[in-house]
Copies of this chain bind each other. A is one copy, B any other.
Amino acid sequence: MLRKEQNDLLTQTGPGTPMGALFRSYWIPALLAEELPENDCAPVRVRLLSEPLLAVRDSEGRYGLVSEFCAHRGVSLWFGRNEECGIRCAYHGWKYDVTGQCIDVPSEPATFCRRVKLQAYPLVKQGDVLWTYMGAPEKRPPLPEFEFSLVPAEQTFTSKRLQECNWLQAMEGGIDSSHVSWLHRANLDSDPLFKGAKGNTYNLKDPKPVFNVVPSAGGLLIGARRNAENGNYYWRITPWVMPCFTMVPPRGDHPVHGHFWVPIDDDSCWAWSYEYHPSRPLTEEEVAAVRAGQGIHVEYTPGTYRPLANKDNDYLIDRAAQKAGKTYSGVSGIAMQDASLQESMGPIVDRTKENLVSTDNGIIMARFRLLIAAKNLADKGIAPPGIDSAHQKVRSAAIILPPDKPFKEVPGETFVARPEVAPVSV
């Protein structure tokens, strides 16, 4: 349970807010690389942290993220012509490069345009993602080093989808390992990205996981313990890296997946979903499955990144399938099972009315770390955890341990990304 002012602080990320300042300390995913497929392609409107922006790829392949609106009279540059190393406003031909610098105002002397510059942020391709950093240039950290975006292209796949609620309730669902035994119960043995793993049986047999949450350098390690054979325990350990990165524990030899939850504004966010294998290419079947919206991915409303199943169509709920146990909530697909419930809480859930329990410890500690970090940044200028690339090289794990061994005693390297080494998985 939070006080109202705590809930406001954690959920508001626009310019000038403490949580907005925290988010502006990190590189965050801005677009899929596929959205800017070639030099001088059409620019793309993208709203991030409540700022209206335009993503551009120029004639020489440079990327930029600039204010959407022309400095002249405020027209959207989305209608602009992207040509000759700059985007030219369609109204009067004012031209800007990818840094936001105005490089031509046709009606004025050349000296004029030098004084005109749009708000702009770097946009850098790494893996399947175009990343941006929206903070002060002098505090810009090195590029992120999350494993999923550094492995060879054939080992990784990333998608994004619109989620119509605040980023925090989406993320809280993401680090909440306990709902898997309920909401996703029917999917563990049917989804091609989940089925067949031995660990699934523990998930299904023990719906009362015990949580053990440990702070890490960059965030948390969230351990969920379920009963296995012979008195042993099946541990699923989820790293959370501040402010909004998580990695789901692996299952058998399936690819590993996880999420970023990036605020569009306070009422909606991008749910980013990656799928990768550290030590082998994704198979054709796996690629076909994730492209078809299986696993933690979705089918889209054509021409958009909005899910086909959404709140306007009640997530295509199928009560007969629910009754028959083919799905637990009546909604198909793991991603939309999560999104439907998280969106059902309203745009920003009122956390003054919660009744948290032991399985919410990961959520409680994540909120606490975020509050502390936002306060330390605002009051003392202390850079938050999760910026250091060492904090980003994390691994999740699924492991069987004897009853007397806490997961904290598992060798630390288990939770560290190691090129070409498969994850620890059951």
Q: Which residues of A contact B (CB under 8 A)?
A: 40, 42, 69, 71-76, 78-81, 89-93, 105-108, 112, 116, 169, 172, 178-179, 181-183, 207-209, 317, 319, 322-323, 328-331, 337, 340-342, 344-346, 349-350, 353-360
CA of A29 to CA of B377 in the docked complex: distance in angstroms?
Answer: 54
User: Are B207 and A106 in contact, with the CB atoms below 8 A?
Assistant: yes
CB within 8 A of A79: which of B74, B329, B355? B329
A341: min CB distance to chain B, Å: 5
Which of A181, A341, A350 has the most chain B CB within a 10 Å cutoff?
A: A341
A426: min CB distance to chain B, Å: 22
**A107-B178, A107-B208 are contacts. A341–B72 as well, Cβ < 8 Å?**
no
A72 to chain B: which residues have CB within 8 Å? 354-357
**A75-B341, A107-B209, A349-B74 are contacts. A90–B357 as well, Cβ < 8 Å?**
no
**A76-B345, A108-B358 are contacts. A90–B182 as well, Cβ < 8 Å?**
yes
8 residue pairs, one from A and one from B, having the closest CB atoms:
A76-B344, A90-B329, A79-B329, A93-B182, A74-B345, A74-B349, A107-B359, A75-B341
CA of A178 to CA of B328 in the docked complex: distance in angstroms?
Answer: 54
User: Are B93 and A341 in contact, with the CB atoms below 8 A?
Assistant: no
CA of A209 to CA of B322 in the docked complex: distance in angstroms?
Answer: 57
Which of A69, A108, A319, A357 has the most chain B CB within a 10 Å cutoff?
A: A357
Which of A74, A330, A337, A358 has the most chain B CB within a 10 Å cutoff?
A: A74
User: Are B183 and A90 in contact, with the CB atoms below 8 A?
Assistant: yes
User: Are B108 and A354 in contact, with the CB atoms below 8 A?
Assistant: no
A322 to chain B: which residues have CB within 8 Å? 81
**A90-B328, A358-B107 are contacts. A341–B79 as well, Cβ < 8 Å?**
yes
21 pairs, CB–CB < 8 Å, chain A vs chain B: A71-B355, A72-B356, A73-B356, A73-B360, A74-B346, A74-B353, A75-B342, A75-B344, A79-B331, A80-B329, A81-B322, A91-B182, A92-B179, A92-B183, A92-B359, A93-B207, A107-B207, A107-B209, A107-B358, A108-B357, A108-B358
Which residue of chain B has its CB nearest to the CB of A107? B359
User: Are A79 and B317 in contact, with the CB atoms below 8 A?
Assistant: yes
User: Are B319 and A42 in contact, with the CB atoms below 8 A?
Assistant: yes
User: Are B345 and A90 in contact, with the CB atoms below 8 A?
Assistant: no
A224: min CB distance to chain B, Å: 10
Which residue of chain B has its CB nearest to the CB of A344? B76
CB within 8 A of A81: which of B105, B179, B328? B328
User: Are A179 and B74 in contact, with the CB atoms below 8 A?
Assistant: no
User: Are B71 and A341 in contact, with the CB atoms below 8 A?
Assistant: no
**A75-B344, A344-B79 are contacts. A91–B183 as well, Cβ < 8 Å?**
yes
Given contacts A81-B329, A92-B179, A93-B182, 20 further A-B pairs with CB under 8 A are: A69-B345, A72-B355, A73-B169, A73-B354, A74-B345, A74-B350, A74-B354, A79-B317, A79-B330, A79-B344, A81-B328, A90-B183, A90-B328, A90-B337, A92-B182, A92-B359, A93-B181, A105-B357, A106-B182, A112-B357
